[in-house]
Chains A and B, each alone.
Chain A
Amino acid sequence: MKYKKYLIIIQNNTIVHCHLELVDYNGFEVMFMWMTEIENLRRELSVTPAGEICREVLFYQGVKEYYSQPPIIAKSYGTAAVMAKAKAYLYQNDLIAGSIRGIFQKDVDARIMGHAKQVYRSYGQNHFGTNSDHFAPDYQTFLGDGIGGTYRKIEVSRKLHKDAKARRFLKAAKITLDGFCGMLQNYAEEADKKAEAEKGEKKRRFLNMAADLRMLLTEKPTTFRQALQLIFLCHIAFLLQDKHAMAFGRMDQFLLPYYEKDLRQGVLTREEAVALLTSMFIKIGEHRYLGGDDTVNICIGGITPTGEDAVNPLSYCILEAVRIANIPGPNLSARIHERTPDKFLDEALKVIATGLGYPALMNDNINIPALLRHGYAREDVNDYCFVGCVENFIPGKQPPWSDGRFNVPMYFEPLLFHGKALLHPDYIGLDTGGPEALKTMKDFLKAFHRQLAYGFSEYYMFFNNENDRYQSENYAQPFLSLFCGDCIERGRDIRDGGAKYPSAHGAGCMGIATVADSLAAVDKLVYQEKKYTLCQLAEAIRVNYQGYEQMREDLLAAPKYGNDDDFVDRYAIWYVEEMERLVSEYRTRDGGPVYAAIASNVQNISAGREVAATPDGRRCGEALSDAASPMHGMDREGITAVVKSTTKPDFRLISCGTVLNQKLTPGLLRKDEYRKKFAALLRVYFKRGGQEMQMNCVSREMLKDAMEHPENYRSLVVRVSGFSAYFVELDPAVQLDILKRTEHGGAV
C-alpha cells in the first residue's frame, strides 16, 4: 500500500500540515501518515448522538416470537437481535468499523419502549451479581478460529453432547453468533454505501473495509487490520449487550503474529499500525454517550506464558496509540518485572508525563505469586491481564468478575459503641464489650478483628445470596461463552462450569491508611502514653470531635502511614494480613476464591460519607484514604518514604490488586535525566514488593483543587536545583508557570 507521507502538527485543535520527516508532537517525536483522519474522527466523535438508547426495543423485537422456547434460547434471539438490528454506523474517517451510535434511535414509540423494558427486565439485567461483564475475552483463540471456525466448534460439540442442557446452550451460542454475523453483514453493506459516495483514498479504504468484513464472516483474519476489525466489533457487540469494562487484555501478545507477518510481507507499516490502533482506541470514548467513561483495560509488557520478557515492538505501538488517542477509557496497564527493558519503562513514563495518568504500572513479581496461591496453572498465571481498573484476571479462563465494597473503617463504630454504627442505625453488629472492655492494644486488635470478621461474613452473605439467585441457565451468557476457553467443548455456559476456572470475587477493602493511622493513634495516645482513655476517644468520635480539638490535634500528630515509620506501618502490615484472613474463609458459589482488593479509586469519597469520625483525627463523613495510598496530605517525608512504607505489607496476599496513587509535578517526567531517576525509584519500589503505582502529573484542574485544598497536596515538592519548596507554597503565578513550561530551567 502506498500513501502520501506527510506529517501534521495540531495546535489548538487546528491542523497544521508540515512536510518534515520528524515533528515534535506534544513533546514527542512522531512520524505520521494519518493524523488527519484521527483528528477528524475525534471531531466526528465529539457530536453526541440524538435519540435514545433502544437496546430493549431491539431485544424485544428479537425475543417476542420465541416466548414458547426455553428462556436461554428465547433470550439469545433477543441478544442476537440487539446485534443484528442495531444500525451499522460508520464515521467518514473510520479506519476500523464499529460504533455504538447505531443503538440510538429517534422517535421511538414510548408505548413500545415501555413494554420492551418490561420484557427485557424480566429476562434479567446485567450486574455484578450475575457475573455478566468485567471480563477479558480469549481473543487469541477467537482470532485463530475466526467466525467460521467457531461455528464448526459448536457443530462438533453438538454432535458430542447428547444432554438437553448442553444442546440448548450450544444452540443459544449459535443464535448469538448468527446475530454477530448479522452485525458484520450490516457493516459490510454500510461500507459499500460509503465507498459509493466517496472518491480516491477514502473510497478504497471503505472498499477494503467491506471486503474485510465479508471475509471475516466465514474466514479467520490473516492481517493485522482484519484482526483488529474483528476484536473491535466483538467489543461493540458487548457494549450493545450492556456489557462494560470489557478488557482487550494482552493485545501486544495476541496481535503480534499478525503485526509481524504484515510487516514482513510489506502490507503494513509501523505508522499504519499505530494509526489503526489509535482510531480504534479513540472510539472507546463513545462510551460517554452512555453517560460516562468506560474502563477498557489494555495490558502490555510483562512475561510470556513460558516466562520470557514479553515486551515487543507492538507494545510500543500500543503505548503510542493510547497516548495519541489521549482520552480516558482505554485503561492501559503495563506489567513490569525485573527484566523489563529500561526503554519500555521510559516510554511508559513518557506517556504518563502527558498527563494521561496511565499506564498503571503493575508488578509481575507480586501479582504472579498472588494468583499462583489459588492453584491456577503457571502458564495461565504468566498470561494474566486486568479487567476494570486493576483487577487481576486470567483471560478467557474464568467467568466474569464481581466485586463489592467492604468499608473497613466503619467497624471502629460497633467496636466503640456496643455493636452500633453511628451513621447506620439499622446496622446490628457484635457487642464486643465497648471501649471499657479493651484494656490493652492487643484486646483492641482482637475485638476489632471480631467486628471485621462478623462484618465481612454479612458482606459475603449478602453478595453470595444475590449471586446465587441468578440460576445459571436463565442468566446464561452464551455469546460471552464464545470467548471463554472450554465452554463450547464442554457444552456449558461460562457461568455454569464452562470456564476452566471457577468465578473469583473481589472484596474491595477500604481505607488501609485510615485504619493503620487510627490504630497507631489509639496505640500511642490511649495505650502507650495514656493521654486519653478509650472511653474519652469514643465520646469524642460520637460528637465528631466537637469540643475535643486538642485531642484531635494529638491524634492528627500521631505517626501516619507513608512516612517510613514502623510504629504505624506495622498496622498496614496487620491490615493486609487481616484482609487475607477475612476473605480466605469464603468461596464463591462455584467454589472459586474470594480475593481481597485495596484498589477503590474514587469510592473512598462515597465510603467516607458512611463513616463517622475515626481515631486518626478524620472527621465524620470526610473521605477515607484512597485505595492503598497513604492518607492524602499525610505523607510528609517525601516519595522515598512513601515507597518504603507502602512496600512493607506483603501484597502477595492481595490477589485482586492494589492501587498506589502518586501525584507528581509536571516537569518531573518530561526531562530525560529526571525520568531516569524516577524509573530508578520505581525499580526500588518493585524490588521491595510494591504491587502497583499510578501517577498523575498536576494538571490545571488539579492546580485549582490544590489551591483550594493545599493540605491534600503537601507532598508535592518542587525540584529545582538548589531550591527547597513545596508546590502549594508557591506563588499562584509561579504555579501556573510550572504547569506551562516544559524544559527551560528544569522546573518540576
Chain B
Amino acid sequence: MRLMVSNIQHFSVSDGPGIRTTVFLSGCNLRCQWCHNPETWEMGPVTLHFAGGQEEKCGFLMSISEIFEKVSGDLEFYQESGGGITVSGGEPLLQTEEVSELLSCCKKAGIHTLVDTAGALPYERFLPLLPVTDVFYYDIKAADEKRYRVYTGGSFQLVRENLLRLRAEGSEVILRLPLIPGVNTDMKSVETITALAAEAGIMEIHLLPYHRYGISKYNALGMEYPMKNKRLVSQRQMDKIRASYQEAGFLVK
C-alpha cells in the first residue's frame, strides 16, 4: 500500500499538540484561492522551480512502511512533548484507506494521530479513519454555500453535515478557520460558524489569519497567484473575531 506524499515535515510545532511529524499528502478536491500549498493540488509529481535556482520535487509514492519508519523515528520527541503524527495535505480523505493503514500502524506504536481535513467529500471517506484518529482538525473555509463554492469549489452543506455526523459518532474535532478578508471574516460568517460549532459540540477553535507565504510556490509552479490584491486581516479584526468566539464559550487559539 502506498501514499502519494508531497512532503514530510519533522519537528512540526503548529499542527497539533507537542512535537509532530506532518505528512503532507498530494491531491486535493478543492481549489481554495488562498491556498498556501498549491503543490499539493495534483495527485502526482510536480517540480517547483524557485527564483533562487533551487528546485523541489513534490508528489511521490511512498510505501506505508517507509512513511511509518520516518514517523516513528521521532517517537522519543513525541513522548517528551506529547506529540505525534499529523496527516495534512492536500486532502487526506482522498487517500483514506491508505491513511487509515498508516495511522493504524502509528496507533499500535503508541503515537498520537491527527488528521487535518476540509471535510468536503462524502462522509464514507471518514469511516476508515474513525477508529485510528485521535483528533480531527476540521477546516471551515466559508460559511455559506455560495461563497464556499466560489472560493473553494466545494459544498458548505456537505462540510456542515459531515461535521455534525463526525461529532455525533464521537470523534474529537477542533475547528480551524482560515481568516480571509471578504470571504469569512464578516460577523455573519462568524455567527453561522458559532451556531454550527455549538450544534456540533465543538470546544476548541483555531484561527489561522491569511498570509502570503505561498506566493513563491505559485511562481515556482508557473502559476498566477489568485489573491494578488487581497489584504491581510487586521489585528483589530482578529481581536474582534477572537473575542466573539471566546464569548460564545470556545477555547480559541
Chain B's closest residue to A638 (CB) is: B10
**Given the known A-B contacts A640-B19, A677-B19, are A734 and B14 also in contact in the complex, defined by CB atoms under 8 Å?**
no
A745 within 8 A of B: yes
The CA of A396 and the CA of B176, in the complex, are separated in Å by 58
Q: In whole angstroms, what is the CA distance A680 to B209 when docked? A: 27
Which listed segment binds B: A455-463, A475-483, A720-728? Answer: A720-728
Whether A680 lies near B80 (C-beta < 8 A) is yes
Closest B residue to A731 using CB positions? B216
- Chain B residue with minimal CB distance to A688? B76
Complex: A641 Cα to B19 Cα, angstroms? 13
Say yes or no for A214: interface residue by CB 8 A criterion: no
Q: Chain A residues with Cβ under 8 A from B10's Cβ?
A: 637-641
| Bound: A647/B3 CA distance, A | 31
A557 within 8 A of B: no
A730 contacts partner chain B, Cβ-Cβ < 8 Å: yes
Q: Is the CB of B37 within 8 A of A723?
A: yes
CA distance A748 to B13 in the complex (A): 10
Complex alpha-carbon distance, A450 and B57, angstroms? 43
Q: Which residues of A contact B214 (CB under 8 A)?
A: 723, 725
Interchain CB contact under 8 A, A684 and B48: no
Could you mark each residue 68-110 of chain B with 1 if its beta carbon is under 8 Å from any beta carbon of chain A, else 0? 0000011011001101000010000000000000000000000
A723 to B9, CA, bound (A): 10
Contact of B116 (CB < 8 Å), options: A717, A722, A725, A731: A722
Residues of chain B within 8 A (CB-CB) of A668 are: 13
Across the interface, B213 reaches (CB within 8 A) one of A684, A711, A720, A728, namely A720
Interface residues on B, range: 35 or more
A674 to B12, alpha carbons, bound, how many Å? 9
Encode A630-646 as 1/0 by CB contact (under 8 A) with B: 00000001111101100
Is B185 an interface residue when CB atoms closer than 8 A count as contact?
A: no
From the candidates B36, B80, B211, name the one contacting A683 in the complex (CB within 8 A).
B80
A746 located at the interface, meaning its Cβ lies under 8 Å from any Cβ of chain B in the complex? yes
CB neighbours of B76 from chain A (8 A): 684, 687-688
Question: Contact between B77 and A681 (Cβ–Cβ < 8 Å)?
Answer: yes
CB of A579, distance to nearest CB on chain B (Å):
27
Count of chain A to chain B residue pairs whose CB atoms are closer than 8 Å in the complex: 130
Question: B109-150 vs A: 1/0 string, CB under 8 Å?
Answer: 000000010000000000000000000010000000000000
In the assembled complex, the CB of A328 is this many whole angstroms from the nearest CB of chain B, namely 28
Chain B residues contacting A681 (CB-CB under 8 Å) are 11, 19, 77, 80-81
Determine whether B50 belongs to the interface, using a CB cutoff of 8 Å to chain A.
Answer: yes
Is B2's CB within 8 Å of the partner chain A?
no
Nearest chain A residue, comparing its CB with the CB of B9: A724
A133 CB-CB contact with B under 8 Å = no
Contact check: which of B73, B211, B219 meets A747 at CB < 8 Å?
A: B211
- Whether B215 sits at the interface, judged by CB under 8 Å, is yes
> Chain B nearest CB: distance from A224 CB in Å?
38
B51 to chain A, nearest CB (A): 8
Contact B73 A722 (CB under 8 A): no
Q: Are A747 and B116 in contact (CB under 8 A)?
A: no
Also in contact, A707 and B13, with CB within 8 A (given A681-B19, A730-B213): no
B184 interface hit (Cβ, 8 Å) = no
Q: How many residues of A contact B (CB 8 A)?
A: 44
Q: Are A724 and B7 in contact (CB under 8 A)?
A: yes
Asked if residues A677 and B81 are in contact (CB atoms below 8 Å), the reply is: yes
Residues of A within 8 A of B238 (CB): 744
Contact A723 B213 (CB under 8 A): yes
A640 & B54 in contact (Cβ 8 Å cutoff): no
Please judge, given known A-B contacts A640-B11, A681-B19, A729-B220, whether A744 and B77 are in contact too, CB under 8 Å. Answer: no
A370 within 8 A of partner (CB): no
B186, CB-defined interface residue at 8 Å: no
Q: Is A719 in contact with B74, judged by CB distance below 8 angstroms?
A: no
Residues facing A in B181-220 (CB within 8 A) are 206, 208-209, 211-217, 219-220
Judged by a CB distance under 8 angstroms, whether A426 is at the interface is no
Q: Which residues of B contact A717 (CB under 8 A)?
A: 9, 11
B15 touches which of A722, A730, A745 (Cβ 8 Å): A722
Task: Please name all residues of chain A whose beta carbon is closer than 8 Å to the beta carbon of B59 when the two chains form the complex.
Answer: none
Kindly name the residue among A641, A668, A684, A738 whose own CB sees the greatest number of chain B CB atoms within 10 A.
Answer: A684
A149 adjacent to chain B (CB < 8 Å) = no
B115 to chain A, nearest CB (A): 12
- Is B22 among interface residues, defined by CB-CB distance under 8 A? yes
Complex Cα distance, B235 from A638, in Å, reads 32
On chain A, the residues within 8 Å of B220 by CB distance are 729
Q: Chain A, 693-732, contact with B by CB distance < 8 Å: what is the 0/1 string?
A: 0000000000000010011000001111111111011110
- Is A564 close to B, CB under 8 A? yes
- Complex Cα gap A600–B39 (Å): 40
Q: Which residues of B contact A747 (CB under 8 A)?
A: 211, 213
Q: In the complex, A674→B36 CA distance in Å?
A: 21
Interface pairs A-B: 8 shortest CB-CB? A638-B10, A680-B81, A731-B216, A721-B14, A680-B80, A640-B10, A674-B13, A677-B13
5 A-B Cβ contacts within 8 A?
Answer: A641-B73, A721-B206, A722-B15, A722-B116, A748-B13
Residues of A within 8 A of B (CB): 564, 637-641, 643-644, 668, 673-674, 676-678, 680-681, 683-684, 687-688, 707, 710-711, 717-726, 728-731, 734, 738, 744-748
Given contacts A677-B18, A723-B37, 7 further A-B pairs with CB under 8 A are: A640-B74, A710-B53, A719-B14, A724-B7, A726-B54, A729-B48, A729-B220
